[in-house]
Structure 1
Amino acid sequence: MPKDLRDFWAGLLYLFIGAAALYMAKDYEMGTAVSMGPGYFPIVLSGLLILIGSISLIRSFIVEGEPLEGFAVSKILYVTVSIVAFALVVEGAGFAIAVILVFAISAMGSKFFNWKFTLGIALASSIFCSLLFVKGLGIPLPIFGSWFGM
């Protein structure tokens, strides 16, 4: 029996997600570190998830942890709704607004939620992500979408 149920379930979740990602990326060409193929990042990332999950799972049987109290359904709903909101508004409102929505909605699930801090972090993250992903990496999404006449 695990001594820390939080590490146990987190480890299983990481293992599951890592294994699923590895399975999905199995047909992609790996490439090399110098010339990365389309499968390089997903395979390396899934390997890291499997490693972290394994460490967490083993640790759950060694280190005593706090008891697991309930299941945070409302917090999961906030995060899920934020992801759905991103998907629904990213094309019309644009990437910058969608990132702000993700931060604002998901932060409401925290017991430390504060509007001023959340909006500040959301705005800074929106600027950073827009510059990095849209301008730097060339992700084909509008920074501000058609809803704003741009």
Structure 2
Amino acid sequence: MVIDRANALCGAIFVAFGIYFASVSLTMDLGTPFRMGPGFFPLFLAVALMLLGLVIVAQATRVAGEPIGSFALRGMAFILPAPVLFAVTLKDLGFVPSIFLSTLLASFASAKMRLPVALVLAVLMTAFTTLVFVGGLGLPFRLFGPWLGGR
């Protein structure tokens, strides 16, 4: 039997995370499908994650995969801190600068990215997310925080 180790490992990780999140969501009130409690949707997502993981593991037994290569350290060094930067700066800098800085940081995960293109990307992403989340959905984000003179 041929097993694709990379896909089997990824599927197993999905299943493990699904089990963990399902167990956490079961400690909350589930409610009913028509009157959902706080644990209903996380449980639904956890079950979907477990099913996806099982499908990936099953597929890993059918197809021989490529060997696991090296980790993309540059990608991890720029993409993983971007949401943390957003979360840390949102309250004090505001929505617009936080999105801009996070996008700018994440864009350098590619070695081919150059500063002018990254700046354009950050401006476009900031405009798009501001229009969607603040303008379209009406979420109550402060556009500019107290560090930049916002209220």
Q: Could you say which TM-score interval applies, normalised by the shorter chain?
A: 0.7 to 0.9
One-letter code aligned to 2:38: P
| RMSD, aligned CA | 2.7
Contact 2:6 2:65 in 1 (8 A): yes
One-letter code aligned to 1:94: G
Matched, 1:91 2:91: yes
Contact 2:104 2:121 in 1 (8 A): no
Aligned counterpart, 1:148: 148
Unaligned stretches of 5+ in structure 2? none
Matched, 1:14 2:9: no
Q: Deviations over 1:58-95 (max 9, x none)?
A: 11111122221122233222222212211221111112
Unaligned stretches of 5+ in structure 1? none
One-letter code aligned to 2:102: V
Contact 2:83 2:102 in 1 (8 A): yes
Contact 1:30 1:37 in 2 (8 A): yes
Q: Deviations over 1:97-119 (max 9, x none)?
A: 22233332223223564656655
Report the count of equivalent residues. Answer: 149
Secondary structure of the structure 2 residue equivalent to 1:90: helix
Aligned CA distance change for structure 1 residues 118 and 64 (closer, same or farther; 3 Å): farther
Secondary structure of the structure 2 residue equivalent to 1:63: coil
TM-score under structure 2 length normalisation? 0.77
Contact 2:94 2:145 in 1 (8 A): yes
Q: Percent identity between the aligned chains?
A: 27
Contact 1:93 1:144 in 2 (8 A): yes
Aligned counterpart, 1:57: 57
Aligned CA distance change for structure 1 residues 146 and 75 (closer, same or farther; 3 Å): same
Secondary structure of the structure 2 residue equivalent to 1:53: helix
- Separation (CA, whole Å) in 2 of partners of 1:30 and 1:122: 39
- Separation (CA, whole Å) in 1 of partners of 2:128 and 2:35: 27
- Separation (CA, whole Å) in 1 of partners of 2:52 and 2:116: 34
